[in-house]
Structure 1
Amino acid sequence: MENKKSVTIHDIARVLQIDSSTVSRALNNNPRVSAKTKKIVQDKAKEMHYRPNTLASNLRTQKSNTIGIIVPHITKYFFSTAISGIEEEAHKAGYNVIICQSKDSEDLEAKNINTLLSSRVDGILLSPAIKTSTIDHIQKAMESNIPIFFFDRYIKEVSTTKVITDDRITSKELALHLLSQGIRKLAVLTGDTKVSIYDNRVKGIYDAFKESGLNTESKLIMQQIKLDIDEAHEAINKWVEKKVDFDAVFAMNDMAAIGAQKALQEKGFKIPEDVLVAGFSNEPIAKLVSPPITTVHQPAAEIGKLAAKKIINHIQESDKSILASETAVLDSELIIRESTLRKK
């Protein structure tokens, strides 16, 4: 079967008996071309199934109009929602996106960055992997004049723009709420505190204890786990079996909170009468379990939109006020549900 030759602007110009440069201007919405001529050219281009040669255009402009996105896990609700926000703003501005996931691996994150650089992206939006311990792969990209902006998670040692939430403040608010319910001892299930978000959430808990004048040594226990249902379930079971005293659980994400609540209920504890349970990130499932779990809503879509706007503005240099190390902090919202409201 013979391959059909792609239609070019020269073919359109030949049919319409006008200059190729006029066709090019009309297709690029150049103000030098009248509205009438633009419509004629665009209608003919559509009729002839014309497709612009993006590669050739990119070579001329030295821009790909593409943004790379790297997240730890695409399947997590927060990140899928943030990606949706990024895509929405990118497409509005005429940009495509390439999405990669690091699976919280530093090696895979570095490979993702190299892949995106090879794809000639104009910039990268990155939420760093938990296991990222060096910044060489990030610095290398930035030294090649490809901007890397952080969203949600960030690395303190890298000076760049980041779009984050006020994790420390909302973690403090949630801890204060738990303390207001008259708890004896708070059990915390956290992720690796080398990661910015977990570090800030743990600091928020200590801020709440300090403000309340309470001794963390006697009223707080903490364990670092992989924050998923299974590990949280196992951690709670071990605490119960060892007769560790606690009557509230603050898990650093909702999936861990669900695992903790399930383990407690299987051991015969009533939620919230015996033990309070709280999570973080407002996963849709958190309000569907019984009882619904208190959590913190993070504006993931808005984080994605703002991160996209900032990197596109930086790429286009249309906003000269943007600094290379600007920090944008969005508000989160404490959502109190039945799992932390004791019956009086």
Structure 2
Amino acid sequence: MELKKSVTIHDIAKALNINSSTVSRALNDNPRVSAKTKKLVHDKAKEMHYQYNSLASNLRTQKSNTIGIIVPHITKHFFSTAISGIEEEAHKAGYNVIICQSKDSEQLEAKNINTLLSSRVDGILISPAIKTTTVQHIQKAMDRNVPIFFFDRYIDEINTTRVITNDRATSKELTLHLLSQNINKLAVLTGDTSVSIYENRVKGIYDAFQQSGWNTESRLILQQIKLDVDDAYTAINKWLDENVEFDAVFGMNDMAAIGSQKALQERGFRIPEDVIVAGFSNEPISKLVSPPITTVHQPAMEIGKLAAKKMINHIEEKDKSLLASETAVLESHLIIRTSSQRNK
């Protein structure tokens, strides 16, 4: 049985009686080609079942028009929204994206980077895993002249562009709100404070205590947990079993706040009358629980869009003044809901 020969741009050009170079430009949406010609070429390509050979094109141009994305968890609202922002800007500029998740594992993150390098991506946007303690796998990509930019989380040792939010300032604002609600002791459930976002949020708490003249030794307890509903639920119950006193809980994400609120309510505590609760990240579920949880809205879509724009500008060198080590800080804002409104 004779194999059917693949249709080439030369076949399309012959069928339309035009130059092969015109066909190539039309298929690549070159502005030098009229809309009428583009339509003729695309219609004929579809009719002839032409398959675009991206690999051959990449080898010719040394450019894949593809950006890699690595996030800790695709299922988290913040990251899925940031990915949407990246995709929107990437597709607008004619780029594809390859999405990987590290599941907060350094080993899997390193595998993700190898996969993206093998796919010849032009750049990588990454929010590093919590458990990342070395930078060799990230430096490996940069040594191959594949730019890596951070978004949301970052690693200080790597000198590159980062797009982040004002975590420290917003955490301070939220803590000042909690301190204003006639509380005696604040319990904080945080993630690993070696990770940039949790380090900055904890610093914001200390800033608020210092500004308010509160003693952190006697009026603050802080514990590192996995920051999910189950771990927060367990941590709160353990404190209650050990008769640890507190009348406010600040979960460093909304899942921790929800787990805390659930544990407290099951033990007979009223929210916010007995204990006030706050979270961070503005997960959609935070306004659906009862009572709705005070939180911080982070501009995830805008973070994704800006990170993508900066990466594409860097790849294409459209912005000659762009520094490969700049820090862009976007503003988050506090959302006060019933869970922390003791003084209305």
Q: Same fold (TM over 0.5)?
A: yes
Structure 2 partner of 1:110: 110
Distance 1:274 1:31 in 2: 65
Structure 2 partner of 1:217: 217
| 1:109 Cα offset (Å) | 0.7
Structure 2 partner of 1:18: 18
Cα distance, 1:341–1:34 mapped onto 2, change above 3 Å: closer
- Determine helix, strand or coil for the equivalent of 1:342: coil
Structure 2 partner of 1:295: 295
Q: Does 1:164 align with 2:164?
A: yes
Q: Does 1:148 align with 2:148?
A: yes
Contact residue 273 and residue 343 of structure 1 kept, 8 A: no
| TM alignment of 1:33-44, pairs within 5 A | 33=33, 36-44=36-44
Structure 2 partner of 1:49: 49
Cα distance, 1:254–1:32 mapped onto 2, change above 3 Å: closer
- Determine helix, strand or coil for the equivalent of 1:214: coil
| 1:4 Cα offset (Å) | 4.1
Q: What stretches of structure 2 of length at least 5 have no aligned partner? A: none
| 1:11 Cα offset (Å) | 1.0
Cα distance, 1:49–1:332 mapped onto 2, change above 3 Å: same
Contact residue 89 and residue 308 of structure 1 kept, 8 A: yes
Contact residue 231 and residue 256 of structure 1 kept, 8 A: yes
- Sequence identity percentage: 82
Cα distance, 1:218–1:314 mapped onto 2, change above 3 Å: same
Distance 1:228 1:29 in 2: 46
Structure 1 partner of 2:233: 233
| 1:99 Cα offset (Å) | 0.8
Cα distance, 1:31–1:182 mapped onto 2, change above 3 Å: closer
Contact residue 104 and residue 130 of structure 1 kept, 8 A: yes
Aligned alpha-carbon RMSD (Å):
1.5
Distance 2:319 2:329 in 1: 19
| TM alignment of 1:168-317, pairs within 5 A | 168-317=168-317
| TM alignment of 1:59-70, pairs within 5 A | 59-70=59-70
| TM alignment of 1:55-134, pairs within 5 A | 55-134=55-134
Amino acid at match of 2:95: Y
Contact residue 186 and residue 219 of structure 1 kept, 8 A: yes
Q: Deviations over 1:267-302 (max 9, x none)?
A: 100000000000000000010000000000001111
| 1:37 Cα offset (Å) | 4.0
Q: Deviations over 1:219-255 (max 9, x none)?
A: 1010110000011001100111111110000000000
| 1:13 Cα offset (Å) | 1.8
| 1:45 Cα offset (Å) | 2.3
Distance 1:9 1:281 in 2: 49
Distance 2:32 2:263 in 1: 69
| 1:181 Cα offset (Å) | 0.5
Cα distance, 1:188–1:55 mapped onto 2, change above 3 Å: same
Distance 1:35 1:235 in 2: 63
Structure 2 partner of 1:336: 336
Task: Name which of structure 1's ranges 143-152 and 41-50 shifts more when overlaid on structure 2.
Answer: 41-50
Distance 1:37 1:285 in 2: 50
- Determine helix, strand or coil for the equivalent of 2:125: strand
Distance 1:257 1:33 in 2: 56
TM-score with structure 2 setting the length: 0.96
- Determine helix, strand or coil for the equivalent of 1:64: coil
Q: Deviations over 1:104-130 (max 9, x none)?
A: 111111111111101101000010010
Aligned residues: 344
| 1:31 Cα offset (Å) | 5.3
Cα distance, 1:29–1:121 mapped onto 2, change above 3 Å: closer
Amino acid at match of 1:69: I
| 1:59 Cα offset (Å) | 0.5
Contact residue 297 and residue 332 of structure 2 kept, 8 A: yes
